[in-house]
A and B are shown apart, each in its own frame.
Chain A
Amino acid sequence: MATYYVSATTGNDSNAGTSIGAAKATIGAGENLATSAGDIVYIAPGTYREQVVHGYSGTAADRIYFIGDPDCEIFTAITPGIIRVTISDSDNTATNQSNKYCIKSNGKDYITWKNVYVDGGSGGVAAHNDSNNTYGFYANSDTDHMEIINCMGQHLSHACYRVAYVYDSVMMGHAYGISSGYIADRSIGIAPYIGISSVDLARNCVGAGYYCFMNCDEIVNCTSFGGSTSFRTGADDFIYDSVAINGYYAFMGGTSTNATSNGTISGSLVVMSRFATYYGKQHGIKIASCNNQWLNNRDPVIGAGGSTDMQGDTTYWPMTPQPLYSINNVRKLADVVTPTLSSTALRGSTTTDRDTLAGVTDFFGNPRKMGVILDRYNEGGITSSRDLGHAELSVVEVTGSVSSSQPGFSIIDEGIFRIPITVSASSAVTASIGLRHNAGDGIAIKPKFELRYSQNNVTASATSTYTTTAALQHLSGSNLTIQSVTSTADDDVFETISVSGSFTKQTELELLFINQQTGSDSISTFSDLEIT
């Protein structure tokens, strides 16, 4: 296992590439050195106008890594910035592009890219027409097991194609955002045609496009924005715990009553869409502020309205309460990758035989689990506390100053209030809060107070206090948590609890005030917040 270095601004392809001072100038030259499993190529900020075609494979145990260093932790003498790989012309326009790739697996296996930006340059229709397919990250096959982490692609027909594992990435294309592969997790796919397409498992993702999500085998905890069709299943596809917002057809399980060609949509929510459902096996669909429940008198519930050829079993059309979206959270679309809704907006239950895949508690009544969501690939799953996403602010009432012992602010029913904080390099932070759990009718789960890394900060630079192994510097879920303290005081009694951490470099953090109560009339009140 060897380490190599590439720097567009300071390197030279005649260098050995084995030290920062002797870096190569092109990624292609670095790639030609990294021929063995476990090799790492560090890439300095800069513009790389080249196509990287892989010639060597890693193994499942020892991948070959290509790691961008945007914060210049390794290339300390270089100005921080983007590691840009582009197939655009020198003036950043796109001409004569046909079947070009920024990065291509070329049939080679187990290669990981981190912290890299790819693009095809700007251009008009001629540069990006249908016969000029351009790709950001391209794998010849899912079985190449290509992986990308914290990457971005844009101005390409396919920003990300057949990449087996897509984590924490944003992919925008003019045809497809994320297309094919095994898993897309905590990622965003945006494209005028299909945002996220034909992925085996899409979880915690956001999709937007003409079709936001199309033909993914399994979709869990995802959100769509807009689109002619928000979620479109193929035969035997399965969608659950997901939300369609502002779609024309929200959950399209198929285009006919033919059960064998239809997919299943279970325990999910439609908000502000024109037609909430359209054929398919629709189970327990909650409908909020939609124009129509279904098209052409096609009630998806079997037996309802005489539609005995349909396969659904339950829809809900609640008049109250509706989920309300925090304006700041909707603005921060990039942060909205875990879209569970507040429990006050969702009540009910759903049953399908596949719900066991996702745990025993359904989406409607309560969070599935404040813990693990099972992953059928057994690749770690989501080990975090369930992030409540864009609608996490069920009800927050700021009722007064937080300078006195009460009233502070309250979270009514399950919800999280989040405060972002930044600590400087070589600094420590301690936050304390006065916390009171009010007795309610619900299940008595005490509230808690957490300090964690910001989800924006899963790059190597931000998390290097966690591990010194660069290839492992990727945090998610519970790994983000630095300290979590659950209240132990009796109901209606104030308790002061604190969380703290120290950091070797500047770090983005979040303080989370969490009311875990899942029953009704349960309130946690927080006051006397001190951050030192």
Chain B
Amino acid sequence: MSDYTREELEQMLIEKDDEERAAEEAAFTSSAAYLFEQDMTTTIKSSDYEMVVHTTTGSFGTVMARVYKSETQNKQFIETYHYWNETKDGVLVARARTATTYSSGSYGSSYTTPTLQIVGTRVKDLTILEG
């Protein structure tokens, strides 16, 4: 038999809940992805923030990558987008963004000019769901 009363056990459970919640939040806010994003957001919010957009030259003008820079922060973040080619009746009608990859460097560092990243081809979903 436990030496604890039911009430004491329940109170211990509450305190354990609190500990687990705090640990979960700490793990999230210390993750590499979170810290990278915070860093990038700081750059985007800086007063001398610049953005360079790389798009395809065809009629789609698909955004291949965006580069966010700040000279005062001496930082540069590159978002490269990955797309599905979407077809309708066998004809390419859309590019749907499916993922983003990130890289970073200092303000003046060079980077490889982005190219269009295509993960595959699929038929465009023409479904309209009713409300």
Within 8 Å by CB of A49, from B15, B81, B125, B130, lies B125
* A532 beta carbon closer than 8 Å to chain B: no
Q: Which chain B residues border A46 with CB–CB below 8 Å?
A: 125-128
* B100 beta carbon closer than 8 Å to chain A: yes
Known: A53-B97, A90-B125. A13 touches B37 (CB 8 A): no
Contact with B along A136-158 (1 / 0, CB 8 A): 00001101000000000000000
* A278 beta carbon closer than 8 Å to chain B: yes
* B73 beta carbon closer than 8 Å to chain A: no
Known: A53-B81, A81-B131. A13 touches B41 (CB 8 A): no
The answer on a CB contact under 8 Å between A50 and B96 is: yes
CA distance A107 to B46 in the complex (A): 11
Q: Which chain B residues border A24 with CB–CB below 8 Å?
A: 94
CA distance A295 to B33 in the complex (A): 41
The answer on a CB contact under 8 Å between B128 and A47 is: yes
The answer on a CB contact under 8 Å between A13 and B60 is: yes
Q: Which chain B residues border A87 with CB–CB below 8 Å?
A: 98
The answer on a CB contact under 8 Å between A255 and B18 is: yes
CA distance A142 to B112 in the complex (A): 33
CA distance A90 to B37 in the complex (A): 28
CA distance A117 to B21 in the complex (A): 29
CA distance A84 to B53 in the complex (A): 27
Identify the interface centre among B5, B21, B41, B128: most chain A CB within 10 Å of its CB.
B128
The answer on a CB contact under 8 Å between A29 and B95 is: yes
* A12 beta carbon closer than 8 Å to chain B: yes
* Residue ID in chain B nearest A51 by CB atoms: B97
Within 8 Å by CB of B97, from A9, A12, A26, A45, lies A26
Contact with A along B31-54 (1 / 0, CB 8 A): 001000110110011000001010
Q: Which chain A residues border B10 with CB–CB below 8 Å?
A: 295-296
Contact with B along A34-55 (1 / 0, CB 8 A): 0000000000011111111101
Q: Which chain B residues border A99 with CB–CB below 8 Å?
A: 33
The answer on a CB contact under 8 Å between B131 and A80 is: yes
The answer on a CB contact under 8 Å between B51 and A14 is: no
The answer on a CB contact under 8 Å between A82 and B97 is: no
The answer on a CB contact under 8 Å between A107 and B40 is: yes
The answer on a CB contact under 8 Å between A28 and B96 is: yes
Contact with B along A53-81 (1 / 0, CB 8 A): 10100000000000000100000001111
* A172 beta carbon closer than 8 Å to chain B: no
* A228 beta carbon closer than 8 Å to chain B: yes
Contact with A along B1-15 (1 / 0, CB 8 A): 000010110110011
Known: A9-B126, A81-B130, A107-B40. A53 touches B96 (CB 8 A): no
CB within 8 Å of B: which A479-524 residues: none
* Residue ID in chain B nearest A294 by CB atoms: B7
Shortest B89–chain A CB gap in Å is: 11
The answer on a CB contact under 8 Å between A296 and B95 is: no
Within 8 Å by CB of A13, from B15, B38, B94, lies B94
The answer on a CB contact under 8 Å between B66 and A296 is: no
* A100 beta carbon closer than 8 Å to chain B: yes
* B84 beta carbon closer than 8 Å to chain A: yes
Q: Which chain B residues border A50 with CB–CB below 8 Å?
A: 96-98
Interface size on A, residues (CB 8 A): 49
Interface size on B, residues (CB 8 A): 49
The answer on a CB contact under 8 Å between A52 and B15 is: no
Known: A28-B97, A49-B84. A141 touches B41 (CB 8 A): yes
Q: Which chain B residues border A25 with CB–CB below 8 Å?
A: 86, 93-94, 124
Q: Which chain B residues border A49 with CB–CB below 8 Å?
A: 84, 96, 98, 125
Identify the interface centre among B21, B86, B94: most chain A CB within 10 Å of its CB.
B94
The answer on a CB contact under 8 Å between B131 and A82 is: yes
The answer on a CB contact under 8 Å between B97 and A52 is: yes
* B26 beta carbon closer than 8 Å to chain A: no
* B104 beta carbon closer than 8 Å to chain A: no
* A182 beta carbon closer than 8 Å to chain B: no
Q: Which chain B residues border A70 with CB–CB below 8 Å?
A: 131
Q: Which chain A residues border B5 with CB–CB below 8 Å?
A: 296
* B79 beta carbon closer than 8 Å to chain A: yes
Contact with B along A247-283 (1 / 0, CB 8 A): 0010010010000000000000000000000100000
* B113 beta carbon closer than 8 Å to chain A: no
* B117 beta carbon closer than 8 Å to chain A: no
Contact with B along A85-103 (1 / 0, CB 8 A): 0010010000000011000
Q: Which chain A residues border B125 with CB–CB below 8 Å?
A: 8, 46-47, 49, 90
Within 8 Å by CB of A26, from B95, B122, B128, lies B95
Known: A26-B95, A53-B100, A249-B14. A79 touches B128 (CB 8 A): yes
Q: Which chain B residues border A297 with CB–CB below 8 Å?
A: 7
* A286 beta carbon closer than 8 Å to chain B: no
Within 8 Å by CB of A29, from B8, B41, B60, lies B60
Q: Which chain B residues border A229 with CB–CB below 8 Å?
A: 14, 17
Q: Which chain A residues border B41 with CB–CB below 8 Å?
A: 107, 140-141
Shortest B32–chain A CB gap in Å is: 11
* Residue ID in chain B nearest A28 by CB atoms: B97
* Residue ID in chain A nearest B96 by CB atoms: A50
4 more A-B residue pairs beyond the given contacts A32-B63, A48-B96, with a C-beta to C-beta distance below 8 A: A49-B84, A70-B131, A90-B122, A296-B5
List chain A positions with a Cβ less than 8 A from chain B: 8-9, 11-14, 24-26, 28-29, 32, 45-53, 55, 70, 78-82, 84, 87, 90, 99-100, 106-108, 140-141, 143, 214, 228-229, 249, 252, 255, 278, 295-297
A-B CB contact pairs (8 Å), 14 listed? A28-B96, A49-B84, A51-B97, A51-B98, A55-B53, A55-B66, A80-B128, A81-B128, A107-B45, A140-B38, A295-B11, A296-B7, A296-B8, A296-B11
Q: Which 3 A-B pairs have the closest CB atoms?
A: A107-B44, A296-B7, A25-B94
